[in-house]
Amino acid sequence: MNTRRGLRAKLGTAFILQAAAVSCGAILGVYAAAAVLQNVLLKRALTEESQHYINVLETRPDFPEPNTYNMTGYLLRSGQSLETIPEHVRAFEPGFHNLREGDKRPLLYISDSNQGRLFLVFDQEQVGRLALWFGMVPLTLVLVLVYLATWLTYRLSRRAVSPIIWLANMVRDFDPQKPDLSVLSPERVPSDVEGETQVLAEALHAFALHQNQLIERERNFTRDASHELRSPLTVIKLASEVLCSDGNLDRFEQRNVDRIGRAARDMEALIEAFLLLARDSASGMPSEDFLLETVVREEMERAEPMLDDQRVQMRLEKGSCCMIHAPTKVVGILIGNLIRNACSYTEDGEIVVRTSCGRLEISDTGVGIAEYELKSIFQPFYRASGAAPGGHGVGLSIVRRLCERFGWEVSLESEAGRGTTAVLLFPDAQPIERDDLA
């Protein structure tokens, strides 16, 4: 199951976060406005009320103390006893103070003037309630409009990205082996697919058509090359075998005929490898269970004629047995390339092939490879400085590409003048006891 989030889910998340951010901002704004009203505007109003009352007293000394629904005032004139002022306010100094009267929190303002000390007690709870109420109603309307606009925008956005989602679903459901290109043909594209999405659909359709042509061309090439190249090689091999059976050949002629036969066999293996790598999959190369040691022996026997005129011994050191499930021909190409390389670059000494469970090691005492050349040795057509004439530098490249194709590993360890060791690893190899082979 695909756990990656699609465009619609991302759009929905973005709009939800946007609506939540706007809602939080609006709510905080209302509470901030209420706080400003209570802590700034009310204090300013009380200050102005106090000044106005003092100004009135200067012209009307008998003017009564303030007494409204939300505000109560007390005036302590000069010479009067503090006992005339309510106890809960008499102990405070001039300025603003928050009182506690049960559940209420009135605001007290005390100011001094020539007329005496004025105490104003204001019930700010009612004002705060009104401020919050008149803030919540507009807030609710604003949030409703924000949510409605967000929902409409989300619907329009979904409609805008629906062609992209349709195109992604079409491409996702493509069968890589047999893609149905008709779903992207202009006559089958939905009417709402337009603009950049239509251009993208047409480009994908053209690309897929071109890709199909390339795949068909590759299949035709591998089919035709497999027949047309193998046929003359078969003729060459049979002709060389006939010549080898002729007892009238002298040593020079016999050596040349053997070289022709070996070259034909090498060319056949090279063609097999190229055709395998040219295929889009390993289909046509059936996998089977076989012993690694069996394929190693076969490839060693095929390579032995290369050592007829050289002072080189090739031997096999058997370790634990293992079973490999893979195309036998592919494994043979890998091992054959590595063994032939060892034979080509070893003029004196020995070649040792060691087998163990999931591991094949081929060591030689040949010319070796310089350290700075090892990092490039698997590149196509690269030949080390001490390479023997006649090669093309594609053998190790084929080995690396086949290993990557089938999930195996290959590595080289070498030192100039001391030889080379090639290691093949088969992670999926299964150990088997030799007694089970009896």
Among candidate residues 257, 281, 305, the one where a domain is terminated? 281
User: 148 pLDDT exceeds 90?
Assistant: no
Q: Which residues pair with 430 in a beta bridge?
A: 323
Do 325 and 408 have their domain in common?
yes
pLDDT at 3: 46
Range of the domain at 401: 284-437
CA 204/CA 417 separation, integer angstroms: 55
**When comparing pLDDT for 41 and 400, which is higher?**
400
Is the residue at 165 inside a domain? no
Do 79 and 198 have their domain in common?
no
Is the residue at 221 inside a domain? yes
| Mean pLDDT lowest among 287-291, 309-313, 346-350, 433-437 | 433-437
pLDDT at 1: 39
Average pLDDT of the segment spanning 124-138 = 68
pLDDT at 311: 84
CA 433/CA 438 separation, integer angstroms: 10
User: 31 pLDDT exceeds 50?
Assistant: yes
Is the residue at 218 inside a domain? yes
pLDDT at 374: 80
Is the residue at 151 inside a domain? no
Is the residue at 163 inside a domain? no
Q: How does residue 437 score in pLDDT terms, banded at 50, 70 and 90?
A: low
Do 200 and 307 have their domain in common?
no
Do 291 and 428 have their domain in common?
yes
Do 220 and 331 have their domain in common?
no
pLDDT at 281: 56
User: 353 pLDDT exceeds 80?
Assistant: yes
Q: Is 368 left (phi over 0), alpha (psi -120 to 50) or beta?
A: left
User: 40 pLDDT exceeds 50?
Assistant: yes
Computed over every residue of the chain, the mean pLDDT equals: 79
Q: What is the CATH number of the domain that holds 432?
A: 3.30.565.10
CA 246/CA 216 separation, integer angstroms: 46
Average pLDDT of the segment spanning 194-221 = 74
Do 274 and 312 have their domain in common?
no
For 292-322, the pLDDT digits (tens) are 899 999 889 888 888 877 788 999 998 888 8
Contact 318, 293 (CB under 8 A): yes
Is the residue at 160 inside a domain? no
Among candidate residues 241, 261, 281, the one where a domain is terminated? 281
CA 89/CA 95 separation, integer angstroms: 12
Q: What is the CATH number of the domain that holds 242?
A: 1.10.287
Do 70 and 97 have their domain in common?
yes
User: 38 pLDDT exceeds 90?
Assistant: no
Which residues contact residue 279 at a Cβ distance below 8 angstroms, ignoring those fewer than 6 apart?
A: 218, 222
Closest CA to 112 of 84, 75, 85: 75
**When comparing pLDDT for 269 and 361, which is higher?**
361
Kindly state the percentage of the chain with pLDDT values over 90: 8
Do 301 and 266 have their domain in common?
no
Among candidate residues 265, 281, 297, the one where a domain is terminated? 281
Is the residue at 72 inside a domain? yes
Average pLDDT of the segment spanning 385-411 = 76
Do 354 and 383 have their domain in common?
yes
pLDDT at 362: 93
Which residues contact residue 353 at a Cβ distance below 8 angstroms, ignoring those fewer than 6 apart?
A: 296, 300, 314, 315, 316, 317, 339, 360, 361, 362
For 225-282, the pLDDT digits (tens) are 766 777 787 888 888 888 877 767 777 777 788 778 777 877 777 777 777 777 655 5
Do 304 and 220 have their domain in common?
no
The pTM assigned to this predicted structure is 0.51
| Total domains present in the chain | 3
Closest CA to 43 of 100, 103, 132, 127: 127
Is the residue at 144 inside a domain? no
* Encoded tokens for 332: 């043979």
For 401-432, the pLDDT digits (tens) are 888 888 899 999 988 888 899 999 999 888 88
Do 297 and 428 have their domain in common?
yes
Cα separations (Å) of 344 from 228, 296, 306, 431?
Answer: 29, 17, 8, 32
Do 412 and 297 have their domain in common?
yes
| Mean pLDDT lowest among 32-36, 208-212, 260-264 | 32-36
Contact 264, 237 (CB under 8 A): yes
